[in-house]
Amino acid sequence: MGPWLQRSRRLLTLAIGLAALFGAVPGAQTPVPKPRPWTPPTTEWGDPDLQATWNYATMTPLERPRDFADKATLTDNEAAAYEQQTNARQRAQNSTAGPDWWDPGTRRLLDRRTALIVDPPDGRLPPTTPEAQDRAARATQARRQRGEADGPEEFSLSVRCLSWGTAGPPMLPGVYNNNVQFVQTPRYIAIVSEMIHDARIVHMDGLPHPGVPQWMGDSRGRWEGRTLVVDTADFSTKTSVRGSDDHLHLTERFTRTSADTIEYQFTMDDPTVWTKPWTAAFPLRRTDERMYEYACHEGNAPSIEGMLRAARVTERDGH
């Protein structure tokens, strides 16, 4: 092979390579770069960083309405009809603040889901134990004998601005104030709820539960890879979630799956109330909205005093 032919072949090879690189050769395909996997941010001490404000508002109820039977999700038309009916009913019946106060996220179903409960598969709370049924019947009878406003203790904890069921633990969507903020240090994580005035402190020191009853229980956390696992026990008899008592063992899992999403899952295990544990799951969405004070002062004295006075006037006048 002569020098001229060798040089021509080298030039041709180089030309084909450049043409393929710039897409000039017919039929040549430029490889599409694969998107880089999302890398969760970490704190300066190396833990996954959850610090931000998150919103968990949704219209999807905790339990699946019985009308939907075995439907885990609805069609687009069914979802639109359900949302319209629910909005109309809440405007007519809900006396808490008003529609102008409600979180916009509560106006829509979550991915057309019919329940936040994912286990049991029917989206319903498990049956209660005979012990729990008997306790509930006795409590109902006692309330009837006491009257509705014999004293401040007859009003619920939320009416007295002491505790609010949606604030957690566990967190549950309500009609408004569905924001929560995470603040982290190496030894503690604070979960600050916009609803009412609670900041739950999660201990990350590996120590066991102290065995001292608390209204929000005692929360102990650990990391399982990217997931924050929070184990809460030592609940007081003064608080209850859907009928739970002081034997409740709550396990929560927070997994940041994107810059704007935390997948939240919790499991309620109370053998004196339910025949088996149950689990719910829904996302927390990052928001730039500010957290505001919920000015419901502990005890809610002026309102409670007014309601008690009204009850005494009613009794005096025989109405």
Output the DSSP codes for 159-180: TTTS--GGGSSSP---SS--EE
Per-residue pLDDT at 276 exceeds 70: yes
The whole-number pLDDT of residue 20 equals: 46
Task: Give, rounded to a whole angstrom, the gap between the first and last alpha carbons of the chain.
Answer: 118
Q: How confident is the model at residue 22 (pLDDT cuts 50, 70, 90)?
A: very low
Closest by CA position to 61, among listed 48, 74, 49? 74
Q: What does the mean pLDDT of the chain come to?
A: 87
Give the largest CA-CA distance in the chain. 122
State residue 198 phi and psi, 5-degree precision: -100, 140
Per-residue pLDDT at 27 exceeds 60: no
pLDDT digits (tens, 9 = 90+) for 44-81: 999 999 999 999 999 999 999 999 988 999 999 999 99
Question: Mean pLDDT over residues 116-143, rounded?
Answer: 92
CA dist 233 → 135, 217, 221, 251 (Å)? 21, 5, 12, 9
Per-residue pLDDT at 1 exceeds 60: no
pLDDT digits (tens, 9 = 90+) for 162-219: 888 888 899 999 888 999 999 999 999 999 999 987 899 999 999 999 999 999 999 9
Highest-confidence range of 27-36, 90-99, 212-221, by mean pLDDT?
A: 212-221
- The secondary structure element, H or E, covering residue 131 is helix 130-146
